[in-house]
C-alpha cells in the first residue's frame, strides 16, 4: 500500500470514528444528540436506540387534508429522556412540570413537548423516537426522507409534531421568572410574553369569553378554552418565516404560591394535539372559592398536578433554536 493511500485510509477511519463508528452503515455514523438539563448528555447511534426496549405503534394523522397511517418501531421518548437523567430543582414542587424538550430536525424544524405531557404519571403521551417502519409486512430502517430518526406524536390531528430527520432533543427549564404573590386567593391573572395584546383577566373579563365545560375527576369545570384565550383574545405572536411556528412555543401557568406548570402550544392547538385545557372560573356551578378566580385545568392527565390553582400569570414563550 502506498504512503498516500495509507494516509487516506487512516484519515477516513479517523473521520468515521469521530462521527460515531465505522463499518455499520449510516445508522452507526448519524447520531441523535440528547442534552440540555440532563445528567448524562449523549450522542445516541441507531444501535444505542435499538438497545432500548422497543415499542411498535400504529399512528394516523393528516398531512394537509390527506390521512396517513404508519406503523413505527422505536424507543419511548419519555424513557429515553429519563435514561440520561432529567435534572430538576429539588426546592420547587413538581419542577419537572415546568420543563420541556425541544425536538429539532436536520433542517432546523422544531417542536416542543412538555415533560408533563410525556410523563406517564401525568399526560402519558406515548411518543417514540422511531427508527424503523413496517412496510409490506416487514420492518426496515426509516428512509432518508424521514430518518434515521423521527419523533412521533400519537393522537395528534396533523403530523406537524412528527419531526423528521431528528437530530437533537434538548431538555430545558421554562425560563419563567414570574414570582408568586405569597399564596392565597388570586383575584386576577396576567397574560404576557409572546402575545400581541398583553391583558389582565378578572372574573368579569373571563366570563365575557366563549363558555366551555369539561368534566375532570368527577367535577364539571366551566371557563374559557386556553387555546382560544391565547390565540383569539390576546393573539399569539409568531414568526411568519417559521413553519408551524406555534409548535415551537409553550405557555407557563403560575399560581399565587409560585407553583408552575407548562403546556406546549402544539399540545392544545386544535390542528395538532387538540388538548382541551381550560382556564376555569367555576366548578359544579359554583365559584372556585379557595382556588382563586381562575384555575388552569388539564383534562386527561392521570394526576391533576398541571391544574394550577390561584392563577396569577400565563406567559407565552418561543423556544429559541438550539445553539
pLDDT per residue over 132-160, tens digit each?
999 988 999 999 899 999 999 999 999 99
Establish whether domains 20-173 and 189-318 are of one fold: yes
Question: 224-282, pLDDT tens digit by residue?
Answer: 999 999 999 999 999 999 999 999 999 999 999 999 999 999 999 999 999 999 999 99
Cell of 155: 393522537
Span between the terminal Cα atoms of the chain, in Å? 43
Residue range 173-182: mean pLDDT, rounded: 95
Q: What does the mean pLDDT of the chain come to?
A: 91
- Band the pLDDT of 8: cuts 50, 70, 90: very low
Task: Tell me which CATH code domain 20-173 carries.
Answer: 3.90.420.10
Q: Where are the domains of the chain?
A: 20-173, 189-318
The domain covering 189-318 belongs, at the CATH homologous superfamily level, to Oxidoreductase, molybdopterin-binding domain (3.90.420.10)
Please report, for residues 62, 105, 308, the alpha-carbon distance to residue 122 in angstroms, rounded to integers and kept in the order given.
26, 26, 14
Q: Is the pLDDT of residue 21 over 60?
A: no
Contact yes or no for 297/307 (Cβ under 8 A): yes
SS3 letters for the chain?
CCHHHHHHHHHHHHHHHHHCCCCCCHHHHCCEEEEECECCCEEECHHHHHCCCEEEEEEEEEECCEEEEEEEEEEEHHHHHHHCCECCCCCCCCHHHHEEEEEEECCCCEEEEEHHHHCCCCCCCCCEEEEEEEECCEEEECCCCCCCCEECCCCCCECCCCCCCEEEEEEEECCCCCCCCCCCCCCCEEEEECECCCEEECHHHHHCCCCEEEEECCEEEEEEEHHHHHHHHHCECCCCCCCCHHHHEEEEEEECCCCEEEEEHHHHCCCCCCCCCEEEEEECCEECHHHCCCEEECCCCCCCCCCCCCEEEEEEEECCCCC
> Could you tell me the pLDDT band of residue 39, with boundaries at 50, 70 and 90?
very high
- Is residue 235 within 8 Å of 191, Cβ to Cβ? no
Q: Sorting pLDDT into bands at 50, 70 and 90, what band is 20? A: very low
- pLDDT: is 24 or 294 the higher one? 294
Cβ count within 10 A of residue 323: 4
Q: Which residues, listed in sequence order, are joined to residue 190 by a DSSP beta bridge? A: 200, 313
Taking residues 191-205, report their average pLDDT.
98
Task: For 48-63, give one letter per residue: b (16+ CB within 10 A) or e.
Answer: bbbebeebebebebee
**Interatomic CA distance for residues 108 and 105, integer angstroms:** 5
Task: Please determine, for residue 10, whether its predicted confidence score (pLDDT) is greater than 50.
Answer: no
| pLDDT of 322 | 78
State yes or no: pLDDT of 13 exceeds 60: no
Amino acid at each position: 500500500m502506498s504512503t498516500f493511500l495509507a494516509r487516506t485510509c487512516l484519515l477516513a477511519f479517523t473521520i468515521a470514528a469521530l462521527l460515531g463508528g465505522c463499518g455499520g452503515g449510516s445508522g452507526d455514523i448519524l447520531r441523535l444528540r440528547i442534552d440540555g438539563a440532563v445528567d448524562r448528555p449523549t450522542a445516541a447511534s441507531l444501535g444505542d436506540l435499538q438497545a432500548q426496549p422497543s415499542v411498535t405503534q400504529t399512528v394516523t394523522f393528516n398531512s394537509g387534508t390527506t390521512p396517513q397511517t404508519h406503523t413505527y418501531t422505536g424507543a419511548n421518548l419519555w424513557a429515553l429522556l429519563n435514561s440520561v437523567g432529567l435534572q430538576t430543582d429539588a426546592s420547587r414542587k413538581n419542577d419537572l412540570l415546568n420543563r420541556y424538550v425541544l425536538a429539532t430536525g436536520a433542517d432546523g424544524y422544531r417542536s416542543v413537548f412538555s415533560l408533563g405531557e410525556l410523563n406517564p404519571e401525568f399526560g402519558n403521551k406515548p411518543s417514540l423516537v422511531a427508527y424503523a417502519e413496517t412496510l409490506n409486512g416487514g420492518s426496515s430502517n426509516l428512509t432518508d426522507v424521514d430518518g434515521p430518526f423521527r419523533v412521533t406524536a400519537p393522537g395528534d390531528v396533523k403530523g406537524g409534531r412528527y419531526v423528521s430527520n431528528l437530530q437533537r432533543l434538548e431538555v430545558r427549564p421554562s425560563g419563567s421568572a414570574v414570582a408568586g404573590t405569597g399564596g392565597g386567593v388570586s383575584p386576577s391573572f396576567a397574560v404576557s410574553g409572546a402575545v400581541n395584546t398583553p391583558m389582565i383577566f378578572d372574573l368579569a373579563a373571563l366570563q365575557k369569553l366563549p363558555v366551555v365545560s369539561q368534566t375532570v375527576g368527577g367535577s364539571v369545570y366551566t371557563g374559557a378554552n386556553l387555546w382560544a384565550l391565547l390565540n383569539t383574545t390576546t393573539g399569539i405572536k409568531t414568526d411568519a418565516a417559521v413553519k408551524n411556528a406555534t409548535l415551537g412555543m409553550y405557555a407557563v401557568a403560575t399560581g399565587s404560591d409560585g407553583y408552575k406548570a407548562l403546556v406546549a402550544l402544539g399540545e392544545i392547538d386544535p390542528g395538532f394535539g387538540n388538548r382541551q385545557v381550560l382556564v376555569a372560573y367555576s366548578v359544579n356551578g359554583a365559584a372556585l372559592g379557595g382556588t382563586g378566580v381562575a384555575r388552569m385545568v388539564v383534562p386527561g392527565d392521570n394526576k391533576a398536578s398541571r391544574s394550577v390553582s390561584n392563577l396569577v400569570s400565563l406567559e407565552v414563550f418561543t423556544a429559541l433554536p438550539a445553539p
